[in-house]
Amino acid sequence: MSGSATFDLDCMRRALARAQAAGRDGEVPVGAVLVAADGTLLAEAANASISRHDPTAHAEVLALRHAGAALGNYRLPGTTLYVTLEPCPMCASALVHARVARIVFAAADPRTGACGSVFDLVRDERLNHSIEVEGGVLEDEAAKLLRDFFIARR
């Protein structure tokens, strides 16, 4: 396994830990980690829409907000976002606007995925920025976490 593949797994495990904590708190268990091109951790977050009463408080958006505030810039070129569930259209659009370079997601979202499953907003040639996408990193673990959460809710 290459160093970059090992780094991707480590970052996704960190995102999964955030997702697990969110699930224990009653949030849909999705976690995100945003790193700079040199591998520096910029932000990590988990879904908080329920607790914040905010439909935009998805893990990806919160990670972008934290990183933007820390760096003093809404543009985050060269960054990679690791997220346990394929971003939705809202999050994908925010990632394009922030100029994120790469998205690595665990589980595909067959209902609202916007990185290739249902839509492909992050690679749409009509937009002014395109994002490299890799899916399926620790997919089984993320899918099980989501499945177990929704089974328990029903």
| C-beta separation of 49 from 79 below 8 A | no
Orientation angle between helical segments 59-71 and 3-24, nearest 10 degrees: 110
Task: Indicate if 60 belongs to the active site.
Answer: yes
Q: What angle do CA 127, 133, 134 make, to 5 degrees?
A: 170
C-beta atoms surrounding 96 within 10 Å: 19
Out of 60, 86, 125, 134, the active site residue is: 60
Confirm if 60 and 82 have CB atoms less than 8 A apart: no
Q: Whole-angstrom distance between the N-terminal and C-terminal Cα of the chain?
A: 39
- Catalytic residue IDs: 60
